[in-house]
Structure 1
Amino acid sequence: MARRAARRLYRALGRRGVFLAILGIGKTCWGVSFLVDPPSDQGLQLLTDLCSLRHWSWLWITCGLITFVSAFLRVGRDWAGFAAAIIPPTVWAIAYTAAVLSGQYSRGLWVAIWYLTSHVGVILWAATVPEHSVPRVPRPARRGKAA
């Protein structure tokens, strides 16, 4: 029974929807972790100068929920999910890059590159993947005249 429900959900969401649902859950959980037990703010001074990491957690939570809800929209209307998914890792990458440039956190360069590739890059790629990639149908063999 659970297998049938999972198959039905997969068919309803499609590949893009499944990606957005997983991403939305992950971003929401990441935001909740900042809310419940904020980590060190090393490298994030650009953000913490404005407000605490507990406040910034709501960026991850809100964007995660938008991303998750967008999973249930049709292809073409799910753009808000991809846009929301990009925002938090881009903000974090900017903060880490600023920390490197100011000399506050030299390791921030590698963290910024990680956010830009494994988060932003993957999201940008997934946004361009069509829902269904159907291979070309081979041409049927021609009937020739027997000699």
Structure 2
Amino acid sequence: MFLLIVGVGQMCWGAGMIADPPAIDGLRLLTDRCPLSTWAWLWIGAGAVACVAAFLRIGRDWAGFLTAYAPPTMWAIAYTAAAVGGDYSRGGFVAVWYLTIVGIIMWASGVPEYSVPPAPRRPRKGTAP
């Protein structure tokens, strides 16, 4: 379920960048290599892989988690570089935001799905030793 939510969110984020491109402040590291629309397709593609992986058996969904890391990690690197280079003063804060997303994905990838703690056991009746 987590991969489905993340996947839909990433596809919407990418589609939003195509429909109404945002300002590229802090993204020069990425936009010097490819146009923003190409990076938007990275978000859409990673989201699609995550959505497909959401329907795979537990343990076989690793590709969904792996691809879900890629876009926010790339954005965090770009904003960190912009902050360190002095190109975008808010870059450090935005990078931490994207790293938070990466952390949540990493946490979710390590949590067993459908893990429910066992029901508490009733004490047995009998004589105490």
Q: 1:140 to 1:98 in 2, by over 3 A?
A: same
Tell me the residue number matched to 1:122: 104
Aligned: 1:83 with 2:66 = yes
The Cα of 1:35 is off from its aligned counterpart by 1.4
Partner of 2:50: 67
CA shift, 1:98, in A, is 0.5
Structure 2 gaps of 5+ residues are none
CA positional deviation for 1:20: 0.7
The one-letter amino acid paired with 2:90 is R
Aligned residues: CA RMSD: 1.2
Q: CA deviation at 1:131?
A: 1.4
Which position in structure 2 is the counterpart of 1:95? 78
Q: Which runs of 4+ in 1 moved over 4 A?
A: none
Larger radius of gyration: 1
Match of 1:143 in 2: 125
* Aligned equivalent of 1:48, options 3, 23, 31: 31
Query: Per-residue CA shift, 1:56-108, capped at 9, x if unaligned?
Result: 11110110100011010011001111111110000000000000111100100
Identity, % of aligned positions: 59
Q: TM-score, normalised by structure 2?
A: 0.92
1:136 positional shift: 2.9
Within 2, Cα distance between the matches of 1:131 and 1:91?
27
Shift of residue 19, structure 1, vs aligned partner? 1.0
Deviates more, 1:49-58 or 1:128-137: 128-137
Instruction: Give, as a single letter, the amino acid of the residue that structure 1 aligns with 2:35.
Output: S
Between Structure 1 and Structure 2, how many residues are aligned? 127
Quote the residue 2:113 is aligned against. 131
TM-score by length of 1: 0.82
**How far does residue 133 in structure 1 lie from its aligned partner after superposition?**
2.2
